[in-house]
Every structure is written in structure tokens, then in C-alpha cells.
Amino acid sequence: MISFVATPIGNLKDITLRALEALRAADVIFCEDTRHTLGLLNAYEIKKPLLSCHKFNEREAAEKMLAFSREGKAVCVVSDAGMPVISDPGREVCAILRAAGEPYTVLPGANAALSALVLSALPAARFTFVGFLPEKKREREALLARLACARETLLFHCAPQDADGYIAALYAAFGDRRACAVREITKLHEESIPFTLAEGLAGEKRGEYVLVVEGAAEAEDPRNALSPREHVLSYIREGLDKKEALKRAARDRGVPKSALYKETLDL
């Protein structure tokens, strides 16, 4: 059996009993960084063969996992911290295993995004996990444009050197909103820093961040500031046909579809 095993995101005591059992029973462990995983295993006196599974060799690693599993060996897959696949390597592995009909399971555990959501004190009834933003400016802007009208709280992973750039991009796309920067989760210097996108995040940036941003308020829907034609176009660009785009725009603006129809005849 192949097991995707969540590992601590900071405090090593956050490892689960099931995770320790699986790691101790494993014949081989695939990990994002063998040096990092070795530190975790040494803390619990576990000695196992370690093989790499990172974003540059997932297909090769998946083929090895398949071979081990079909030989009846127990295989564990871990990332440096948290759950494999979620902003970490492993997605391609899962796809290959599914296509090959090979069963696998998941051992849950620590989660940075959910921990940050609780620490932020922002609305948690509904939320969207976005993870890291695309590196290319055009792709980043397109993604944020799609999220601008989302009512739910948004969760972003962010490296310290990217924090100011992320916040500037969020402000440009969303306008001013409440936000919270959470860092060093489960560690000694854990911080949860409330701020607004307009003011930015003050101070030196250290440690990996989760940026938690409140969703759009109904009265602040950015599309309502567009012209009727651009409002309908924004939905068409998302893949809706004209009829559905007109319906959505009319509902957003609180007007009948006929009020928008004449201004969108050429679309």
C-alpha cells in the first residue's frame, strides 16, 4: 500500500500516532528533501531507505512507487511539511497511480492554511485555498481578477521575500480589505498580524506566511463599478455564454436583463 503522510509544519510533536506507525512500518519513504525528512525520522529514531520525490522527478518517482507497491512493499510519501500534493509535490504521482489502478491512502495531519484561518479571526464559514500565486504577472492578474468577486475568505501561501509583492498585487486586484499575515505556525515565534491591504504589512519579513484575506462584501462587488458592457464581458471572458453572462450581470446590478441588452448587442 502507498500512503501519503502529513508531517509537522513546525513543531515536531504535531506528528500523529498513525503517521509514526506508517513510517515505522514502511519499506521505503519517498520525500521532497531527504535531508529534511531525515531530521524528522531521527527525532523518532526511525531508520528507513529514503528516495526523492520532488517537482522535477514525480513521474520517475511514481513508477518506482508502483513497482514497490506491486511487490507488496509498504510505501510512504511525505513532503517537507504538511500534506503532500497541497502546494507540495505529489499531484502528478496521484494521477499516475489512479491511471494505473493502484490504490493509495492518506494519513491526515497538520495543515498551515487551516491553522492560519483560525488564527486570523476572519470569517471561516466558507473559504478558498489559493496557495502560491503564479509567478508570471499576466497569469497572476488573471487569477486575482477571477477571485475579486469571491465572497469567501481567501488563503494564500507566501514566501517572505514575496510578501510585499503579493500584498501589492492583492490590493491592486481587490482594493482595500482586512487581512492577516500568519507566520511560524506551531513554532516558538508564531505570529498572527492583522493589517489592511491598503496599509500593507510592516516590518521585516521572516518565515513562511499564510496570507488570509477577507472576501468581497456584496456592496463592494468590483464588477458593479464596470460599465454594463464590461460587466457582461467579464463573465464571457470566464467562459459563460452571452445569455448566462447577461443574466449574472443583471442579477449583480439589480436590474432586468432588458436593461443591459441594448448595450451588449455587438458582443
CATH for 139: 3.30.950.10
Residue 161 grid cell? 521575500
- Residue 39 CB partners (closer than 8 Å, separation 6+): none
pLDDT at 221: 63
Query: Among 47-61, 162-176, 213-227, which is the least confidently predicted range?
Result: 213-227
267-to-154, 215, 234 alpha-carbon distances in Å: 32, 30, 12
Are 39 and 103 part of one and the same domain? yes
Look up the pTM and report it: 0.77
Are 45 and 89 part of one and the same domain? yes
Q: Is the pLDDT of residue 261 over 80?
A: no
Are 64 and 156 part of one and the same domain? no
CATH for 98: 3.40.1010.10
Q: Is the pLDDT of residue 103 over 60?
A: yes
Are 209 and 235 part of one and the same domain? no
Are 205 and 237 part of one and the same domain? no
Per residue in 168-212, pLDDT tens? 999 999 999 999 999 999 999 999 999 999 999 999 999 899 999
Closest CA to 50 of 78, 87, 84, 83: 78
Q: How many domains does the chain have?
A: 3
Are 74 and 138 part of one and the same domain? no
Query: Percent of the chain having pLDDT more than 70?
Result: 97
- Integer Cα distance of 153 and 185 in angstroms: 19
Are 171 and 79 part of one and the same domain? no
Are 179 and 234 part of one and the same domain? no
Give the domain extent around 232: 222-264
Are 79 and 29 part of one and the same domain? yes
Domain end call among 76, 110, 144? 110
Looking at per-residue pLDDT, the higher value among 46 and 226 belongs to 46
Are 245 and 162 part of one and the same domain? no
